[in-house]
Structure 1
């Protein structure tokens, strides 16, 4: 494990601290206002489940990368051949350096390194020509297009940068599906153009249009075709987004009976006991779910602590066996009994599936804003019981 970590850090160091030896081009002055884009690519080891990696990658962003000084934005994706990209926007190169040093020395991320095939690992950093607008959100299946190249001998870097800005303004940004674009250069004069598209079809259409437009021929002529490389990565995003608002509603269904809402048991409208929260990775959203005061049955304590993260939903039963209300509910669920929890999100979720160790758990995807957790036959509701659901 330590060998792999040292190898990856060494690779990064060799790429990012190499001296500039290309005198044919003028690299933009340090006086230009800019940020740094870090582009890391790799394959996973052959025995690694891609979904497990994507979940861990989201945790790495939440718990480590986003906490580093100078962090601006991070996104991850994979191409058609299973190659992964992690792209991070930093305020400065010093911030990126400090993050790499911290990452390489933190034992809590060793399992993440162990998923990566070190022989395929590559990392590069590009200083942008100007500060790009990174105030945008990506959704599952959006595309990151990364094009890299050197300039032909004799091409003035400032002339290329000026023409590149015109290409973005007059052509790229006008294409269907365009989200954002940024360009930059590394220490050795290697250039990168990074474009975010709604779909792969949009990226394909743009390339076709670009290749047929005679007005951009001078731009192509500046590029050394022998060094040209283009890759596209479909981004993956966490199943749920931190900061999204959530409305939770509970329903019950006994054997042979219709589904009814929790408040209807007390003669109340279906939405009377709706609960509201904002998704946070650090605090529980519904710490006393189903608690109600002043019902015909008296004050009812919370049945569950329900905690959501970007990747999971966990339940913990709260009442003791002597609870005056819930003690009547404890027991094994028979066939036909289902307890449902409707989670409605203020923004579309990215959930495509789930996994759990319990056969009596199901997660139903009703729409792009509604998930339903179903607890059914075989569930033994007892004090202290807890269970977890992984979202994919």
Structure 2
């Protein structure tokens, strides 16, 4: 074993010495010496050995990070990811080139990394260091796209750098789940772009429109096509986001997986579904009474707002239903839950269902502004009946409606209100309890009366564009009499 350890360390030493020599990293040019270096981006890609299990590799990778890399001078961040082919990328960020090289020299002589090195297919390994003009700032990312390429001969470097930054401002930075786009160059002129996303789903959604965007087309046209190498990697050993935990919990209805129940705090779980007992015991009691086919959940939309996550979901839960769920977290665990459920209804007069329509989150920087719009709309128009302000909040030229009984547009809304009045029915909002949002989607939770005056919970989801409402979904459900409650926490 001693000789095997030495063999793998020598193999790695030979490999990395070749890599640094081939990129000229060991002897920075005069230009590089004077360049304002913000971050050194070290990108290593490789395959694992044919017999290596990814779970075992992931654990070994975490050990290397915790016990060695993270303790080195100048270390900023290390992220390891794997793509759908099982290929691995390790991105390490350093404060300086000298500190990156010092760490690598120590790595080559440390026997504690030998078992990790033995899992790597040496011939497949490639490593390059790039100078990036921006500090790494995406610690919560779950997915990365990494692309390296050479520029075509004769490319105007200044014009290309400007165009490179425009890709972010014109397209990538506007997409849901975008966290950071880092660009860099090595001494030979090879370029790198690393785009960090909250999730693979966000990256997938953005990818579909990228190549059609004019700025992206112009950007790609400067690349030497044969030199392009791109990888898309899901990070290993990543702490799940609150949204990820909620989606995993709801998906466990489909899979029967018990692990996501650990995301609920067993000591504190306040339940506001009045048909369910309080605490984790109440949740367990419902699961024990599931029908033979079990429960099903299809999460259509999921959003995160601080310590809250809210979802729009189609359920098979004692019959097909549509619902909104809200989960509150403390210290990474779910401690409180609200919901509103309604049986699935036929399509509305405009042919829309209770859940169809856009799902992509954009305008993340406008979350708070959009929440204020909805708070104003519910307060001014719905509660205080200041109808002259209607078009201040709703786009009269584009208002898509998913309420099962109401057609699109302000005319559809007006026709529904007229029908209610003519038939002695009411839709009265008395109190706004909660407003949550992420980007262009905002959920409001209100209390009032509906139909013949039933005590009712109104959950309304709005999509906004340019500060005005353009689409609406809702679940309107009666609140049972207090004598029927299975917990004492109330609906709100």
Q: Supply the RMSD in Å over aligned alpha carbons.
A: 3.0
Question: Aligned to 2:135, which of 132, 135, 153?
Answer: 132
Tell me if structure 2 keeps the 8 A contact 1:20–1:189. no
1:133/1:50 CA distance change after superposition, 3 Å: closer
Name 2:447's counterpart in structure 1: none
| Stretches of 4+ aligned residues off by more than 4 angstroms | 26-29, 238-241, 246-250
1:37 equivalent to 2:41? Answer yes
Cα drift, residue 192 of structure 1: 0.7
Between the aligned partners of 1:222 and 1:6, the Cα distance in structure 2 is 39
The TM-score with structure 1 as length reference comes to 0.57
1:118 equivalent to 2:122? Answer yes
Which residues of structure 2 form unaligned runs of 5+? 242-263, 269-328, 335-492
Residue 120 of structure 2: SS of its match in structure 1? coil
Between the aligned partners of 2:170 and 2:18, the Cα distance in structure 1 is 37
1:133/1:240 CA distance change after superposition, 3 Å: closer
1:345/1:62 CA distance change after superposition, 3 Å: farther
Name 1:8's counterpart in structure 2: 12
Map 1:262-273 → 2, pairs under 5 A: none
Between the aligned partners of 2:202 and 2:151, the Cα distance in structure 1 is 26
Between the aligned partners of 1:30 and 1:6, the Cα distance in structure 2 is 34
Map 1:161-180 → 2, pairs under 5 A: 161-180=161-180
Name 2:205's counterpart in structure 1: 205
Tell me if structure 2 keeps the 8 A contact 1:146–1:194. yes
1:205/1:49 CA distance change after superposition, 3 Å: same
Name 1:73's counterpart in structure 2: 77
Name 2:193's counterpart in structure 1: 193
Cα drift, residue 120 of structure 1: 1.5
Cα drift, residue 34 of structure 1: 2.4
Measured against aligned partners, the alpha-carbon deviations of 1:125-171 in whole angstroms (never above 9, x if no partner) come to 1111x123425323xxx211011110010113232222212221222
Which structure has the higher relative contact order (CA within 8 Å, separation 6+)?
1
Name 2:98's counterpart in structure 1: 94
Between the aligned partners of 1:13 and 1:54, the Cα distance in structure 2 is 25
1:196/1:19 CA distance change after superposition, 3 Å: closer
Which residues of structure 1 form unaligned runs of 5+? 251-343, 350-392
Greater helix proportion? 2
The TM-score with structure 2 as length reference comes to 0.46
Residue 43 of structure 1: SS of its match in structure 2? strand
Between the aligned partners of 2:52 and 2:148, the Cα distance in structure 1 is 29
Name 1:373's counterpart in structure 2: none
1:105 equivalent to 2:109? Answer yes
1:210/1:7 CA distance change after superposition, 3 Å: same
Between the aligned partners of 1:10 and 1:108, the Cα distance in structure 2 is 18
1:347 equivalent to 2:332? Answer yes
Residue 189 of structure 2: SS of its match in structure 1? coil
1:63/1:215 CA distance change after superposition, 3 Å: closer
Residue 34 of structure 2: SS of its match in structure 1? coil
Tell me if structure 2 keeps the 8 A contact 1:150–1:227. yes
Between the aligned partners of 1:213 and 1:102, the Cα distance in structure 2 is 45
Between the aligned partners of 1:17 and 1:177, the Cα distance in structure 2 is 37
1:109/1:190 CA distance change after superposition, 3 Å: same
Tell me if structure 1 keeps the 8 A contact 2:43–2:92. yes
Between the aligned partners of 2:90 and 2:333, the Cα distance in structure 1 is 23
1:90/1:348 CA distance change after superposition, 3 Å: farther
Tell me if structure 1 keeps the 8 A contact 2:80–2:235. yes
